[in-house]
Amino acid sequence: MSREPNYEFQEWWNKQREKNDDFFTNDSNNANKGFLTVEIRSLNPDLTTEKDRSRSARQLSWICLLRFQQLANFLAWITNSFLLLLRTANRRISAADSPSDSSASRLYRIIKFFLFLVVLLLCVELVAYFKGWHFSPPSAASAEAAVELFYALWLEIRADYLAPPLQSLANVCIVLFLIQSMDRVLLMLGCLWIKIRRIKPTASMEYPMGRVETGNVDDYPMVLVQIPMCNEKEVYQQSIAAVCIMDWPKERMLVQVLDDSDELDAQNLIQAEVQKWHQKGVHILYRHRLIRSGYKAGNLKSAMSCDYVKNYEFVAIFDADFQPAPDFLKKTIPHFKGNDDLALVQARWAFVNKDENLLTRLQNINLSFHFEVEQQVNGVFINFFGFNGTAGVWRIKALEDCGGWLERTTVEDMDIAVRAHLCGWKFVYLNDVKCFCELPESYEAYKKQQYRWHSGPMQLFRLCFLDILHSKVNKAKKANLIFLFFLLRKLILPFYSFTLFCIILPLTIFLPEAELPAWVVCYVPGIMSMLNILPAPRSFPFIVPYLLFENTMSVTKFNAMISGLFRLGNSYEWIVTKKLGRSSEADLVAFENESDSSVTETTSFLRSSSDSGLEELSKLEVTSRRSVKTKRNRLYRMELTLAFILLSAAGRSLLSAQGIHFYFLLFQGISFLVVGLDLIGEQVTLTQHLLTNNSNFGVTGSGLKQFSIGHSLYGCQNANCEATCHWLKYKVCTKQKGVFEED
């Protein structure tokens, strides 16, 4: 049933339309007002007056003075900020404390000149571009103005005299690049063959896992364990504890803590830790040299000169941040049985902080390829590889046969490995035996480490080249040492990486008569990066940052290689890599799962921050908190200079519409800029107060995060318990003495 129409509302609506007819009409008078317009009229228009808004001369003068004062304050703020920025930059740049970032280096001077040249060429090309000469270059015959004649002569000079030698140098670097790439491909094929055939070193005997019975100790050889350290206050406890609880008869093992610390606090703490373990029945000695010569090599040489060393057959070496598993010796020593020509058994490194930041992730990619591919392939096929300086067991007879530790280089581990190889000794690499350690988390520490690692091999190559030629090993081993071990992997790799991608590529942009093919710039490096990342497949998303970062590090490696080869600067200086005592919960759990389940009994031990070391440790923490200084970003001159060079070349490439070259130069320049501003990695301090004062764990002492992880994993709810745990086998917590008993 329909509703009746409302006539009253319709009548009201018609009246309103008649009153406001102009509201709905669009005549010529209101055509510019739009369709819907609202007009507001005053009730008393005659009573309103227009307010005078004019200002007097005095008011205008005050306004002008105010504006000038604001402008002066702004200019003063800009000037002070700029001067402060310059002073800060100069202070952070001039704070060079290592040869790796010295501003007085010859390489830095060359790079500065190169930057000046590139900027000058960019200005010339910009002028030519806006004049239209970039697309239709003038000739000397048709030139009218002096500027046009100058540009025409420049084109002839670069085409006839500059481009040919640059192209020749580029071709040489391309050949070296391809040779080094083929070497990587062969290494990957060798690693694939090992995986398919499941080739691995096998020992002629095995030790039973578990606690050693007293009556069977004669089957265990005498082993000397050495822990060289220098001011390692963050990691000394965990390294000493890890060695002291190794599953080996106590009467058949002696631990030497070789302390080269020059800080009294560190000496007292390490001595207290050694005394604590000595009271627990561990055969452990503390050695401190008054004259710290020869760095680590001198420290090890001094320790091996003790009279009691002749009673031992093997020596295991662990750096201060390395934490071997309790069954480390039981998995390595058996390989010496029946192999009288075996000198070294090397274990693989595993990293507790590989996922800490982008820098540690990129390091993990590099080192995973080194251990998984290079070390394993060389160990299986030629029984030789460079000793890593730690996490290895040496036959003492082999050390004595090749002359012992020498102080002539900063890579004493590689030195003794090469000399032992020339004496006919063999090496074994165990990829399935892992020893946890720590990666540098700041770019400053990583740069110093890489400088030493790349200057030392060149020092050694210069010293032992003639020894290799005159040695009694066959020609194949000599060729492997000279061409593969030293030249290709230690000299050619940093040379072509820096020269090809940081020098030649920008020059070819400004000298287009010489060119680098796109496959050299992009495709081959991309394939090589994919091969390098295969041993660490979880890091595949970081393939592009890895490629850019490796090219960025080439300047440090090239500088180190040149310094070591020609003995420039302080190439013999040893700077200890700063460590933090970090531990990763996931890595500890993974290691526990990989370990043999039969290892269920080990001697229980007291918490590290108790008894004799507690008082000294507390004093150290108070001193450290007072002296903490927040670490600020450094500025690195060579990296920043190269960033400006590459970005300038990218701008020039944009003018000529070179797509792939432009993108490579742009991103590589940004990579250099990020590293030069110290924006990669993590800025850290010297103390671990965030780790050591966690109320949930109740842990005291610096560098004990690893112990607290084991404590928390097994669910101790007692906030007052100060117990600590090194390995996850200790599960039951007792509050009385702070002891983790065996499960």
Catalogue the active-site residues: 260, 413
Both tokens assigned to 721: 């318990």
**81 token code pair:** 């900020």
Structure tokens at 309: 């060393």
Query: How many helices (H) does the chain have, and how many strands (E)?
Result: 27, 9
Going by C-alpha positions, the residue among 612, 603, 611 that lies closest to residue 740 is: 603
Q: What are phi and psi of 211, to 5 degrees?
A: -65, 135
Tokens of 609: 């921050």
DSSP string, 84-113: HHHHHHHHHHS---SGGG-TT-HHHHHHHH
504-507 LR contacts (CB < 8 Å, sep 24+): 504/166, 504/169, 504/170, 504/173, 505/649, 505/661, 505/664, 505/665, 506/118, 506/645, 506/646, 506/648, 506/649, 506/665, 507/166
Q: Would you list the DSSP string of 668-681?
A: HHHHHHHHHTT-SB
Let me know: does 332 contact 393? Beta carbons within 8 Å.
yes
Q: How far apart are CA 556 and CA 552, in angstroms?
A: 8
Asked if residue 608 lies in contact with residue 679, where contact means CB atoms within 8 angstroms, the answer is no
Q: Work out the end-to-end distance of the chain between its first and last CA atoms, rounded to an integer number of angstroms.
A: 88
Could you give the angle at the alpha carbon of 594 between the alpha carbons of 592 and 600, nearest 5°? 55
| 163 neighbors 514 (Cβ within 8 angstroms) | yes
Residues 6+ apart with CB under 8 A from 38: none
Measured CA to CA, the distance from residue 279 to residue 348 in angstroms comes to 32
* CB 563, CB 506: distance < 8 Å: no
- If 0-12 CB within 10 Å is exposed, 13-18 middle and 19+ buried, where does residue 488 land? middle
Positive or negative, the CA dihedral 288, 290, 295, 298 is negative
In this structure, are strands 730-734 and 739-742 parallel, antiparallel, or unpaired? antiparallel
CA torsion through residues 527, 529, 535, 537, sign: negative
Q: What are phi and psi of 343, to 5 degrees?
A: -105, -35
Enter the DSSP assignment of 599: -
284-288 sheet: strands from edge to edge? 284-288, 253-259, 223-229, 314-317, 392-395, 342-351, 426-437
Closest CA to 327 of 613, 675, 595, 716: 595
